[in-house]
Amino acid sequence: MNLLDDSAVRDRLAAVPEWRREGDEIRRTITAADFPAAIRIVDEIAVEAEKLNHHPDIDIRWRTLHLVLSTHDAGGLTELDFTLAARIDEIAAGA
Ligand SMILES: C[C@H](O)[C@H](O)[C@H]1CNC2=NC(N)=NC(=O)C2=N1
């Protein structure tokens, strides 16, 4: 999987406006209704991540989820990060 250059990252970020670039990562926060709802979201994300074999860093703080995506094997941002970001957005929207 090839690293995306800055213009490609900007293009792809436009499709996932909840996400922000921070160096070699993209980040977003999801606020769930309560703690069990937050864990259910994490569970749904885990299923999608496993399908892609691409896994976010997830910081769970009560009902707030802090998600970080980067392609560790490539040392930066690749298409996989944006594919998973879009799936996470669908999960968050449906929660
Ligand atoms: C061996 C396994 O396929 C790799 O370690 C996968 C697993 N999940 C991953 N997740 C992320 N975010 N980046 C990776 O480079 C990555 N690599």
1 within domain boundaries: no
Mean pLDDT of the chain: 98
How high is the pLDDT of residue 1? 82
Nearest-atom number in ligand 1 for the CA of 55 is: 10
**CA 52–ligand 1 middle distance (angstroms):** 9
CA distances to 8, 30, 40, 83 from 45, in Å = 24, 12, 9, 12
18 within domain boundaries: yes
Confidence bin at 72 (pLDDT 50/70/90): very high
Q: Atom 8 of ligand 1 has which residue's CA nearest to it?
A: 54
Q: What is the largest CA-CA distance in the chain?
A: 38
d(CA 81, CA 76): 9
User: CATH number, domain at 63?
Assistant: 3.30.1360.20
60 within domain boundaries: yes
ipTM of the complex: 0.97
Q: What's the pLDDT tens digit per position in 9-54?
A: 999 999 999 999 999 999 999 999 999 999 999 999 999 999 999 9
30 within domain boundaries: yes
Q: In total, how many domains does the chain have?
A: 1
Q: Which residue has the higher pLDDT, 48 or 1?
A: 48
pTM, to two decimals: 0.97
> Could you tell me the residue range of the domain that residue 18 belongs to?
6-94
Ligand 1 proximal residues by C-beta, below 6 Å: 53-55, 70-73
62 within domain boundaries: yes
